[in-house]
Amino acid sequence: MNHQFDSTVLREYDIRGIIGATLGADDARAIGRSFGTLLRRDLEREETGRERAPLVAVGYDGRVSSPMLEHALIEGLTGSGCDVRRIGMGATPMLYYAEASAEEVDGGIQITGSHNPANYNGFKMVFRGRPFFGVDIQRIGELAAGGDWLDGTGSVESLEIIEEYVERLLAALSGVDASALSGLKVGWDAGNGAAGPALELLAKRLPGEHHLLFTEVDGSFPNHHPDPTVEANLADLRKLVAEKNLHFGVAFDGDGDRIGAIDGEGRVIWGDQLLMIYAEDLLARLPSSTIIADVKASRALFDAVEKHGGKPVMWKTGHSLIKSKMKEVSAPLAGEMSGHVFFADDYYGFDDALYAGVRLIAASARLGRTVTQLREEMPAMLNTPELRFQVDESRKFAAIEEVKARLTGPDVPEGIEVNKIDGVRVNTPDGWWLLRASNTQDVLVARAESDTEEGLARLLGLIDEQLALSGLQRGESVGH
């Protein structure tokens, strides 16, 4: 027996598809068989004579298709000889917590469509404490295509961990002066995503006053799309903060691993700006720490890390890539423009938007300034949002290589610095611009930042010039 996946399903960072078109129960079963086989072989290589079966934690988000996929995935895992611990419906970071906090758990799989439309679903995986991505995901496809699976009969247990998980989130406030938290007023928007139930429990136990939006899990997302990096999706939260005169507001994506925020005046606090707050707080306690941000982050963030005595590292975009880099350089904090924030100082190093929300409360209290004041103090940089435009899959990486070649050749103007770590990020006297290929979609991503409107216009002109030299144009920006 073997299985062939649709060519669009096995992505760089996760597995994702459209229910009924490119993803279904047979795919989930094959994923379970392949993941279980890889895990058994890896453990048996390392632990000769191992007596117990591998244990895999499995969770799922609030999408309509998730229970069906969970059932098939568990069939595949147990059929490969793995035991399964079902933690039920919840946010992706709750699954990560189930894997990281229990020594006996060898791997974890969350069924989630993340911030994608309601008809999508997918899988995020952890393999023996490390992110599972890139070539790992391609191995899933190879084993399935060859039917190269181990057989076995695993067992299934169910475990309720939401209370334990919420208690662990609250530990982020230990040592924070209670008087600094008593008058706190915060708005939260779960977006009908999987973080809703944990948020309800958390808000009851947090000090201060908390107002919640859309905590009922509904996979059709009736109120707004659960992607907090799109400003239009923050309209309800902005209205709540204004009407209730709250200090700030926090929003989550569909599976609760990405955070969005606004201050008390309704201004968006973007991912790199949140990281500036977390970095200042952390560096006061852990001086000289390495802090990682992706190539889309503002220059202001890297400058702020240096100013507060830290070592900034610019790295590739992608939550799995950032997590791996954190382990490599022992960084206690990292983040992305997309709202993934990773804490490894007093936490496990995975991206957890609920935890990040509590850490924002803690940072504000420890720094002795409101979130609005912290946002006010940030440099006023002029930058574009993430500009995403369609480019054929067969062309996107080749086009970036052509741009790299032109910008590192003999005719590059003076004053130009090129960072090639992920696409091209080019520093010029006007500021910087970025052009990179998405690993998950057939799009190129551009961004630019300057101190002046004129400078920003010139940077966008440079992007257009490079695209034109490769026979492309920016055209109309497309969504995630």
Positive or negative, the CA dihedral 85, 88, 90, 92 is positive
pLDDT at 117: 85
What 316-320 contacts at long range (C-beta under 8 Å, 24+ apart), as own/partner pairs, is 316/421, 316/422, 317/422, 317/436, 317/439, 318/12, 318/13, 318/133, 318/294, 318/439, 319/13, 319/131, 319/257, 319/351, 320/12, 320/13, 320/14, 320/131, 320/132, 320/133, 320/134
Rg (CA), the chain: 22
Which domains does the chain show, CATH number per domain? 15-160 (3.40.120.10), 165-172+183-376 (3.40.120.10), 382-469 (3.30.310.50)
pLDDT at 405: 92
pLDDT at 477: 54
DSSP code for 421: S
Q: Is pLDDT at 476 greater than 60 in this prediction?
A: no
What contacts 285, CB < 8 A, 6 or more positions away? 345
114 is annotated as an active-site residue: yes
pLDDT at 394: 83
For the chain, helix, strand, coil in percent to 5 are 40, 20, 40
- CA 148, 154, 155 angle in degrees (round to 5)? 160
CA-CA distance, 171 to 465, in Å (whole number)? 51
CA-CA distance, 107 to 131, in Å (whole number)? 10
pLDDT digit string (tens) for 250-265?
Answer: 999 999 999 999 999 9
Q: How confident is the model at residue 386 (pLDDT cuts 50, 70, 90)?
A: confident
Average pLDDT of the chain?
Answer: 94
CA-CA distance, 389 to 400, in Å (whole number)? 14
Q: How confident is the model at residue 146 (pLDDT cuts 50, 70, 90)?
A: very high
pLDDT at 480: 47
pLDDT at 427: 95
Least confident of 99-103, 283-287, 324-328, 385-389: 385-389
pLDDT at 115: 79
Tokens of 100: 């990281």
**For residues 422-443, average pLDDT:** 92
Q: Which helix (H) or strand (E) holds 126?
A: strand 120-127
Catalytic-role residue among 65, 66, 80, 114? 114
pLDDT digit string (tens) for 23-35?
Answer: 999 999 999 999 9
pLDDT digit string (tens) for 415-430?
Answer: 889 999 999 999 999 9
CA-CA distance, 384 to 446, in Å (whole number)? 9
Residues 114, 141 contacting (CB under 8 angstroms): no
Q: Which helix (H) or strand (E) holds 373?
A: helix 371-376
Question: Which 3 state secondary structure label does DSSP give 287?
Answer: coil
Q: Is pLDDT at 163 greater than 70 in this prediction?
A: yes
Residues 387, 472 contacting (CB under 8 angstroms): no
Q: Which helix (H) or strand (E) holds 31?
A: helix 25-46
CA-CA distance, 238 to 268, in Å (whole number)? 9
pLDDT at 459: 96
Q: How confident is the model at residue 395 (pLDDT cuts 50, 70, 90)?
A: very high
Q: How confident is the model at residue 46 (pLDDT cuts 50, 70, 90)?
A: confident
Main-chain phi, psi angles of 109, to 5 degrees = -135, 125
Tokens 């399964």: give the residue: 84
Q: What is the pTM of this model?
A: 0.94
What contacts 383, CB < 8 A, 6 or more positions away? 298, 447, 448, 449, 450, 456
